[in-house]
Amino acid sequence: MADNNRMKALVLSGGKGTRLRPLTHTGAKQLVPIANRPILSYVLDNIANVGIKEVGIIISPETGGEIKETMGDGSKWGVSIEYILQTEPKGLAHAVLIGRDFLGDSPFVMYLGDNLIGCGIEKFVETFNKTGADAVILLKPVDNPSSFGVAEADGAGKIIRLEEKPKDPRSNLALVGVYIFSEEIHKAISEIKPSARGELEITDAIQKLISIGKPVHSHILDTWWLDTGKKDDLLAANTIVLDEWFKRKINGEVDSLSKVTGRVTIDKGAVVRNSILRGPIVIGPGAIIEDSFIGPFTSIGANTRIKKSIIEHSVILSGSELSHIERLEDSLIGRNTKVVKCQDKHQALRLMIGDDSVVEV
């Protein structure tokens, strides 16, 4: 691996998470857990694993305090974190602009904090180091390119042009949301104007680099990528991470009446009584599962209580309580939420519930 000590990272964790409301009315979308870990934890894993030591995290006034409290000073990953306030969401290039003092003249990875990819970024950084480009963008072939920023590249991977959500896309290569820039990007940003939606677009800044003859290269992602901004995407990410990255590990208490099969992770302090657990599943510390069936691709947060319920393919956040629910699937349940049955009829539920709620069904 090349020496990346000069390279820094800028992680974008602002925004208002409107697509994940009501959950993000009370919390940051980048902290929503995938397999009981905040999405930002996976981002910092990838950054730390390429030897980057200095990380700037762009935060908003609404959720910045929660992100600081959760992620801390970065020592858990062996990095130092500096938090940078973006008072209004004025675009990705604007985030680079307000991060300039932190970035200095260092090359840097820019990483959208709600993106999850199925591999590390080692090869991506290697492409930047080998090509000597002023920008390298991570791309992924998609079926619906007009929903994304789209890149057109030549046979050698050099970027010819970028377009933001084009009606007639010239390729199927979408911008993933991970970029590497040299200090030349700062000059390019200084020469662009806000777009029609009033934001400084990073695609405009990269196009400016191309137009003045600066080399911009691409790296094609050959594994999965999920933008976790919507419920179904988040559940899909939870499914993939549990399926690919988790092994069987039982540190909690399981009684003799229970049956645990497959790749089930039960954290220390969790208790399972008279229940069937069929992995892949992760159960957080302090959770209590009684007289229930927990099916595949379910994440159950810390200090959650589940009684006489059937749950699968769902994400249940910490401190919640579910009781006498005949079937819950494809659901996202916020923190400290209570879901209880009060009617004597069979129901299969698909729910998306924000924090601190009470739902009687």
Q: With pLDDT > 70 as the criterion, what percentage of the chain qualifies? A: 88
Cite the residue boundaries of each domain of the chain with CATH code 3.90.550.10: 8-241
300-350 tens-digit pLDDT: 999 999 999 999 999 999 999 999 988 999 988 888 888 887 566 556 655
Q: What is the pTM of this model?
A: 0.86
What per-residue confidence (pLDDT) applies to 2?
44
73-96 tens-digit pLDDT: 999 999 999 999 999 888 899 999
10 Å Cβ neighbour count for 151? Answer: 26
Query: How big is the chain by its Cα radius of gyration, in Å?
Result: 22
Find the mean pLDDT for residues 207-216: 92
Find the mean pLDDT for residues 159-173: 87
Cite the residue boundaries of each domain of the chain with CATH code 2.160.10: 248-360
Element (H or E) spanning 348, and its range?
strand 348-349
Alpha-carbon span 237 to 175, nearest angstrom: 18
Alpha-carbon span 282 to 185, nearest angstrom: 42
Task: Give the model's confidence band at 1: pLDDT under 50 very low, under 70 low, under 90 confident, else very high.
Answer: very low
Of residues 247 and 108, which shows the higher confidence score? 108
DSSP class per residue in 118-161: SS-SHHHHHHHHHH--SEEEEEEE-S-GGGSEEEEE-TTSBEEE
19-36 tens-digit pLDDT: 444 444 446 778 888 999
Is residue 351 scored above 60 in pLDDT?
no
Of residues 24 and 238, which shows the higher confidence score? 238
Task: Give the model's confidence band at 186: pLDDT under 50 very low, under 70 low, under 90 confident, else very high.
Answer: very high
CATH topology of domain 8-241: Spore Coat Polysaccharide Biosynthesis Protein SpsA; Chain A (3.90.550)
What CATH number belongs to 248-360? 2.160.10
